[in-house]
Amino acid sequence: MPTEVRTESRRQFLRFLAESPLICGLGGLGGTLAATAARAQDDSVLSGSLAFSDIIESPAQALNVWDFENALRARLNPGHFAYMAQGSDDLGTIAANRAGFGKIGLRPRRLVDIPSVDLSVDVFGQRLSSPIFLCPVGAQLMFHSQGEVEVARAAKSKNALQVLSTVTNFSVEDVAAARGGPGWFQLYSTSDWPSTQRMLKRAEDSGCTAVAWTVDIPIRNLEPVARFDRDKDPLCQACHAGMPADPFTMRHMFDGVDMSKVRMGLAGLTWDYVERIKGATKMKVLLKGIQTREDAALCLQHGADGIVVSNHGGRADETLRGTIDCLPEVVAAVAGRIPVFVDGGFRRGTDIFKALALGATAVGIGRPYIWGLGSFGQQGVERVLDILQRELRIVMMQMGAAKVADISRSSLELA
């Protein structure tokens, strides 16, 4: 693709962002856009990364995870960046995910002798190096030629849990082989139960130990990526040249399924579907997308093995509630009977510590590791994990916690 075409496409993208209220969640674009983003308190402003205008040239140069966001933006097709960065409506829930951490203070302890910190945790019998896991993100070929397989290699290297999306570009079998150990599978239900059963069986046969059924997007409003008309954008045309017209042919969990007759979604499904999934698999069954005490209680009532507090990174709905705000009521409703996981807006070790102190078993990251993947592949993902683990170790030492089990709510001051 000629440089001038790529440059003009990027200019069009930036112009769209500058003129649109959607800017509030995309931030870090410099000049007038930066000022707009500052008012919206987006990711990059809150991180302070706007003060660093250079683009890192290797993973080792990164000092925080936002350094990878800048690197990815410089490399990535603007349409693909919009797909990754977008959220519902005015992107207010993306901002709320970040703002929630600012409501929680920390109460450090002094003169506690902690010669070393143990980050390891046990999740459903699997010992992991840290409580940080890699959330399901679909269509990772948009960010790297090896997509989910490259992430699996990083997960293997760091002994991290990887959760594979239903709309993965690589099969669960290929990803499991690259990971060389148990992972989880994220399920989007379909209108055809036999097809859903087949996906569950493939995941189980590939060694997945849990399935996270996503229940937070019966319908949603996503605008940024819709601004890119593939038929009119030369950069999009070049990117998708030679690709099949049917996107499901590149989503290998749907191999053998006639998607002209099958729909993905939650239409017509109720809480009884939890028992249906549990009857179809030996994997642990979690519900992903729970945000209230009422639904947490229903998870228990219907036999869920775990809960993932999530708003799909701000992509599900415009609730204006961060997941860290939702976590305490879900943990209270569950009362220790099943594990509670959380994702959404985690960018610092202090963020992760706060969630663990509020009762989370483990914390998921999504966009940060995609920034690393798109910038530097496996090494980028590994470096993102390294940075977050380092930051978590630091705050644990400051709070007097030598291991994850020592982290408690007493370390927090809630606004």
Catalytic residues: 312
Q: Rounded to an integer, what distance in angstroms lies between the CA atom of residue 379 and that of residue 369?
A: 10
Q: Rounded to an integer, what distance in angstroms lies between the CA atom of residue 68 and that of residue 13?
A: 20
Q: Rounded to an integer, what distance in angstroms lies between the CA atom of residue 127 and that of residue 123?
A: 6
Q: Rounded to an integer, what distance in angstroms lies between the CA atom of residue 398 and that of residue 148?
A: 35
Eight-class DSSP state of 264: B
Residues 355, 359, 360: CA angle, nearest 5 degrees:
60
Cα torsion angle, 74, 225, 366, 259, sign: negative
Instruction: Taking each helix axis as running N to C, give the angle between helix 92-99 and helix 323-334, from 0 to 180 degrees, rounded to the nearest 10.
Output: 70
Q: Rounded to an integer, what distance in angstroms lies between the CA atom of residue 189 and that of residue 266?
A: 7
Tell me the two tokens of residue 40.
Answer: 């919206």
Tell me the two tokens of residue 144.
Answer: 């790297």
Other C-beta atoms lying within 10 Å of the C-beta of residue 1? 12
Other C-beta atoms lying within 10 Å of the C-beta of residue 396? 24
- Strand 340-343 with 306-309, pairing: parallel
Q: Rounded to an integer, what distance in angstroms lies between the CA atom of residue 100 and that of residue 84?
A: 21
Tell me the two tokens of residue 413.
Answer: 């001051």
**Residue 37 near residue 26 (C-beta atoms within 8 A):** yes
In sequence order, what are the beta bridge partners of 118? 403
Within 13 Å and on the Cβ side, how many CA atoms surround 41? 12
